[in-house]
């Protein structure tokens, strides 16, 4: 019985660490999926003036925009570059990135 408690006690920090890493996935994904290349390191300063600043945007709005670009529903000259990388992003990635960006101070 004492051994089980010891193992549980030792495993707790690992579990908490894993949960903390999951909470930061949006920030990691933002870099891994190359969002930062056009929208800036934290979505605050876009590469081109016509690209939107994403920091502080509404989470639901960001998800809709990413889904519309990926599906082709939203297609114009400015979405062409993003369309090229959206195949790398799944629905959960979009949610995680949107949650992260919605919490970044503009």
pLDDT tens string 27-81: 999 999 999 999 999 999 999 999 999 999 999 999 999 999 999 999 988 898 8
The two structure tokens encoding residue 74: 């939203």
Q: How many angstroms separate the CA atoms of 33 and 58, rounded?
A: 20
Q: Is the pLDDT of residue 14 over 90?
A: no
From 96, 100, 62, select the one nearest 82 (Cα to Cα).
62
pLDDT class for 9, splitting at 50, 70, 90? very low
pLDDT class for 2, splitting at 50, 70, 90? low
pTM, 2 dp: 0.76
Identify the DSSP state of 54: -
The CATH number of the structural domain formed by 25-103 is 1.10.760.10
- Domain ranges for the chain: 25-103
Identify the DSSP state of 53: P
Q: How many angstroms separate the CA atoms of 106 and 95, rounded?
A: 19
């Amino acid at each position: 019985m004492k051994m089980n408690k010891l193992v549980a006690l030792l495993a707790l920090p690992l579990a908490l660490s894993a949960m903390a890493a999951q909470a930061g996935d949006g920030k990691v994904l933002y870099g891994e999926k190359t969002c930062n290349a056009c929208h800036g390191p934290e979505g605050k300063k876009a590469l081109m003036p016509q690209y939107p600043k994403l920091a502080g945007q509404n989470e639901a709005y960001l998800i809709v925009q990413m889904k519309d670009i990926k599906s082709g529903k939203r297609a114009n000259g400015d979405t062409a570059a993003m369309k090229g990388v959206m195949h790398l992003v799944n629905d959960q990635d979009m949610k995680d990135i949107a949650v992260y960006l919605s919490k970044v101070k503009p």
